[in-house]
Amino acid sequence: MPQCDLQPIEAILTRTGTGQEKTLAILQAIQQQYGYLPTEAIEDVCRRTGLRHADIWGVATFYDQFRLTPAGKHTIRVCVGTACHVKGAERVYEAFRRQLQIDPDKDTDKDFLFTIEKIACLGCCTLAPVVQVDKKVYGPVRPEAVHEILEATLREGDAEPTAPGNGKRNAVSEAPVELRIGVGSCCVAGGSMDVRRELDQAVAKMGLSDSVVIKPVGCVGMCHQTPLVEIVDTASSKNNGDILYTKVSAAEAGRIVKRHFRPKGLWRKLRMAADDALDGLLETESKPLVRRAVRDGEICTFLGGQQRIATEYCGRINPLDMDEYMRHQGWQGWQQASQISPDAIIERVVESGLRGRGGGGFSTGRKWQLTRKAQGNPKYIVCNGDEGDPGAFMDRMILESYPYRVLEGMAIAARSIGAREGVLYIRAEYPLAVQRVRAAIDICHERGLLGDLKLSIMEGAGAFVCGEETALLASIEGKRGMPSLRPPYPAEEGLWGKPTLINNVETYAAIPWIFRNEPGAYSAIGTAGSKGTKVFALTGKVTRGGLIEVPMGMTIRHIVEQIGGGVAGGAKFKAVQIGGPSGGCVPASLADTPIDYESLLSVGAMMGSGGMVVLDENDCMVDIARYFLEFTQAQSCGKCTYCRVGTKRMLEMLTDLCEGKPCDLEALENLARQIKAGSLCGLGKTAPNPVLSTLHYFREEYEAHKHGRCPAGKCKGLIHYVITDQCIGCTLCAQRCPVGAITPEPYRKHRIQQEICIRCGTCKAVCPAKAVDVES
Amino acid sequence: MTQNNTIQLTIDGRPVEVPRGTTVLQAAEKLGILIPTMCFKSGCTPSTSCMVCMVAIEGSGALIPSCGAVALEGMRIRTDIPQVAAARQSAIALLLSEHAGDCQGPCQRGCPAEMDIPQMLRQIASGQLDQAIATIKADIALPAILGRICPAPCEKVCRRAGHDAAVSICLLKRFVADWDLASGKPYQPQCKPLTGKKVAIVGAGPCGLAAAYYLAAAGVASILFDKNSQPGGMLTTIDKAILPSEVLKAEIDNLLSLPGIEFCGNVEIGRTLSFQQISSEFDAVFVAVGKADVGSFGLEATDRGIKVDAKTYRIGQTNVFAGGESIGRRRLAVRAVADGKEAAVSIVQLLSGKEVTGVHERFNSRLGQLVEGEMQQFLATAQAGSRRAVQKPSDGFSPADAVIESRRCLGCDCLKKDICVLRDLAEHHHVRQHTYKGHRKPFTRQTTPSGLVFEQGKCILCGLCVQTARKYANQKGLAFAGRGFETEIAVPLHGLLAESLSETCADECVKICPTGAISRLP
């Protein structure tokens, strides 16, 4: 290994600062510099800062983000979130490894070009399965097409996509027509930056820059249709003339502009006409544009029935345009709140009935009250943006799309408890959210909107457990993200031992609405025990996935069938996984369960942070349980025995089942109950839920696995692929089989050599005659 | 109303008043209610990780770790309900399921007399033969004799056999015993003062002699009756080339010279003296007559031998005990010697008015099959090279060879097996090691030149060593490294253990570590 150059470290430390709370930032900067954490660099940091070897080593080895060995030039992150899992992420991961010939015990190819990692969730669930290569996100990725991604990466080299959404640059002029382009992560992953570039060019080319404004907007929620372009005539009094284009490609962008606008000036008109004629000659088949009016049909059903509070003005406002935010009632809630006493603020929140949206569902007003009453100075306010549930991305979307709303909510909360300092802890996997919130804080500070409240961002480093509030605080203090026993609750002894208010992103986002509307307006929505609305990430095997916000009390069936358009591809609806690794699977037979905290608990699920993954008949429930256990096991902090060892033992039992090995279901269930009862923190206490709920509702599938059968045909160890008489002898399967288990025999029925087959499913995916079956 | 600075709570229904901020564990201590702890030591910050100190909150049934949970006003705690016991049990079972280490070495478990072989070998290796003989005689009363005739079941299970060849345990034991007999002042145990109780031992073979030895050590006098004029029983029939008469005589004479032991030859019970007579005149009787006919004793017997309780060697609820060949086929003399030792324990229990339960069976963690790389960890500090041989079977080891051979031992046993909290808890809570099956941690061992031993596979991640190391400045210390199941205590930055802790700090870590993860070679 080459000796590393320690020259840059001094500058890094000057930039980051040197206290223990800076440990994560220092390590992040070092990794940025060297691509990993060289031992010499860490030693040098210890020498210069007085940080202890033991502390820094503990942190460096705790968080997923940090590498202790050099990485390849490019990093492939295969998302293994729930939505990606059910759509075959594992196969994509294996395909990359095969293609790159990475040794089983390594994560980097021999040429050090690519390092591959699994990532808990990229939060682009509607594009599943998703892969991020360096900063570019691809989705959906087919295992048989991974070589294309690798080739594209090598071709494009180091070119980085331009960072979207800078508030100042995109300041909105009062132009009559807006071309709105979604710049949420899903849209960006779908290629919206390329679309935007094309739109920019087309508008400039046509001389429309004065009358047409291209406006980046936050998430529209219809992530299944990304990228989205909407044309809005703001001058027009009637709003129903808006036109929405879905799944727009860069190539189509220019044509959209041409279709709607006339070029300015005669010379331009002439040139455009010539261009069009040329285009017409070049384009042999002119694809019709997808054109949909907002209030029509399918999109309407998707948006209808939803009620937007945390995600209000969805798809209509530029995330960082402060003036626009203000035109849309921004800071009015703050104005209301600043005119009443802190106690009155709290009273108002209590009255609203708002409960924590991070999963626990504790009364928000009560939490504020406790923090206000707590002895100790100063007091801190923290925003928990460490959304780590695989299959959930509402916090990411809110931070990306409505950063000011979250900050406004925090400002109101800070006033109520008397805090002057606050931290937004945001997962490192959400670079766009970090970037937008950072810009938003700067703008707020510049404009003096936050008064004497000072807010800063702390970037996580990849540890799901840091979503647990005590672990999150430990992480902010620059330590390993280990939860601690409560009480004391953070409200009494939180950050640096001082009273600290921690709420989740979505909770803060609901606050401004509560204050600028009539008392009672929020509590009028929802059910007796669960007020207001809840944002869900609707993903999985549903026709229309996306980010939705619905009033509490809506049934699962309504969400899946009406909003989501039912199960995609005509398969049978089997269950909904709600609440991610802490939640459970609600079977289709209980689809009329209303969505509220208590009802979900009563059916063995939980609100969690709001992931909602629809499963169909092709999903194996044992595999789903194993999947979640694998996740929690990997994310366990390793502190308490039940979680650290217990979840490992459960995972082993489930893995045995998925491989057709014997397993004592009673023992599995007993262990699950012990872990639930005994674990120290929420992660461990809820980790058994996916197992307990599937055991309860789908026990027959467990029994089938015990006898070596996977009814859904999912568990690799229990299935094999066969080619039926439908085979037309096209040899496609043989050509694509990554391990040569099929011999090409043109015009004859093909055969799979089972002893070679790795059950990757490529043959089934590529067969044009549907001649590949799965047998269990 | 209680005063502002104290609170009241109940534990197992008993009220207690404690200062605010007191933990539930401390409150229970005040009531004399014992709650087991492992990861917590008084004076340290509770890590609430091992979860053996679980208690339940009445009503909600919620389980909380008492070491870290602060007692609150009006709390109602239960420590005595099945739910709490089950929680503690499963926490211990989970810890054991990943535990990578043996309590006793395989050799000790393979020895019918459960002699602490690894300790003997360490003592030989460091030249402490006077201590080695004490180690041997704690379990084997006649080592010079057995050192010549024992087929050494211990060597068959020696882990080193999986690499090259077993350590020559039996010959080394003989080496120590011969050295002892030749010393002119052979080893005798520290015997307790005589209690006045007297036991009749019928048969002065290896089993009876061993019983007399351990009874004497416990302060109980005995008379060894034998139909022959000389003691030794079946030992006297062994080929003199294998077991020379002078060795036999020297070792038995040394045994018979212990306080309270009397040999009475030419007495045949059932003929010379009636069995009923001795069983009524003596406080207890131990029958160790070998294959001899016991028909006249009036004891219940099958064709295999006298019927006794398998654990206590006691016959029914009487004061009569039996062992050795008289209760069944004993292929090995060492088995007969072990019977004598174990029966002595039961007899002492009876005579001191205690419940007769026999030898207390200790919990033993077993490492089981080694996985790849683990043998290298064991071999790292052991003497390389093959097993030392002797010229002819009757030869013993030279002192130099004995040292070299003893150093071939892999030291499979746990250096803290007698003070390990995990072992004690497993035993106390009746936990089976394999309640939960699954992958255990890998066995690793680092040994510093000063004899500090660090075995991560035995660690329960309490972090007491990390806390301890923190107290000492100017050292790298120890860190929690990794996350989840892979978490371990490690030297930061893959450094060297010897350089990361000062000697004082290391000693403190050895003391505070509740298991054998951090220990020191004697």
Residues of B in contact with A66 (CB under 8 A): none
CB pairs under 8 A between A and B: 136
Distance from CA of B482 to the nearest CA of A (A): 5
| Residue A557: partners with Cβ closer than 8 Å, 6 or more residues away | A591, A592
- Contact between chains at A52 and B477 (C-beta distance less than 8 A): yes
Which of A 458-477 lie inside 8 A of B, CB atoms?
A: 463
Q: Is residue A42 within 8 angstroms of chain B, CB to CB?
A: yes
Q: Is the confidence at residue A390, as pLDDT, over 90? A: no
Q: Is the confidence at residue A295, as pLDDT, over 80? A: no
Q: How confident is the model at residue A679 (pLDDT cuts 50, 70, 90)?
A: very high
Query: What's the maximum distance between 2 C-alpha atoms anywhere in chain B?
Result: 87
pLDDT value at residue B149: 95
pLDDT digit string (tens) for A48-105?
999 999 999 999 999 999 999 998 999 999 988 888 888 889 989 999 999 999 998 8
Among A484, A638, A680, beta carbon nearest to B484: A638
Residues of A in contact with B493 (CB under 8 A): 39, 42-43, 53, 57
**What percentage of chain B reaches a pLDDT higher than 70?**
99
Burial A289-308 (b: 16+ CB within 10 A, else e): eeebebeeeebeebbeebbb
Among B49, B461, B469, beta carbon nearest to A54: B469
Q: Assign residue B474 a region (left: φ > 0; alpha: ψ between -120 and 50; beta: otherwise).
A: left
Averaged pLDDT, B148-153: 95
Averaged pLDDT, A251-258: 81
Distance (Å, rounded) from C-alpha B518 to C-alpha B509?
7
CB atoms within 10 A of CB A360: 19
pLDDT digit string (tens) for B323-340?
999 998 888 899 999 999
CB atoms within 10 A of CB B74: 10
pLDDT digit string (tens) for A594-639?
999 999 999 988 888 788 989 999 899 999 999 999 999 999 999 9
Burial A708-727 (b: 16+ CB within 10 A, else e): eebbbbbbbebbebebeeeb
Residues of B in contact with A466 (CB under 8 A): none
Q: Is the confidence at residue A219, as pLDDT, over 90? A: no
Nearest residue to A112 via CA among A147, A157, A75: A75
Interface test with A, best of B24, B39, B60, B90 (most A CBs within 10 A): B90
pLDDT digit string (tens) for A635-671?
999 999 999 999 999 999 999 999 988 899 999 999 9
Q: Is the confidence at residue B264, as pLDDT, over 70? A: yes
Distance from CA of A644 to the nearest CA of B (A): 5
Among B65, B438, B481, beta carbon nearest to A649: B438
Averaged pLDDT, A675-703: 95
Q: Is the confidence at residue A302, as pLDDT, over 90? A: no
pLDDT digit string (tens) for B194-241?
999 999 999 999 999 999 999 999 999 999 999 999 999 999 999 999
pLDDT value at residue B384: 95
pLDDT value at residue A271: 61
Averaged pLDDT, A10-33: 94
Averaged pLDDT, B88-102: 96
pLDDT value at residue B517: 97
Among B51, B98, B476, beta carbon nearest to A642: B51
Residues of B in contact with A671 (CB under 8 A): 90, 436
pLDDT value at residue B68: 95
Distance from CA of B469 to the nearest CA of A (A): 9
Secondary structure letter of residue B51 according to DSSP: -
8 A C-beta contact, residue A409 and residue A512: yes
Residue of chain A whose Cα is closest to the Cα of B438: A649
- What interface predicted TM-score (ipTM) does this complex get? 0.91
- Contact between chains at A61 and B495 (C-beta distance less than 8 A): no
Burial A79-105 (b: 16+ CB within 10 A, else e): bbbbbbbbbbbbbbbbbbbebbebeee
Choose between A236 and B112: higher pLDDT: B112
Looking from the CA of A413 toward its CB, the CA atoms found within 13 Å total: 36
Q: Is the confidence at residue A157, as pLDDT, over 80? A: no
> Could you tell me where the DSSP H helices lie in A70-228?
82-86, 89-100, 146-156, 185-189, 192-205
Which two tokens mark A733? Answer: 């399967």
Distance (Å, rounded) from C-alpha B71 to C-alpha B64?
11
Residues of B in contact with A58 (CB under 8 A): 479-481, 492
pLDDT digit string (tens) for B424-468?
999 999 999 999 989 899 999 999 999 999 999 999 999 999 999
Averaged pLDDT, A105-125: 87
Q: What is the crossing angle of helices A250-260 and A192-205, to 10°?
A: 40
Q: Is the confidence at residue A143, as pLDDT, over 90? A: no
- The chain-wide mean pLDDT, for chain A, equals 87
The gap between the terminal CA atoms of chain A, to the nearest Å, is 49
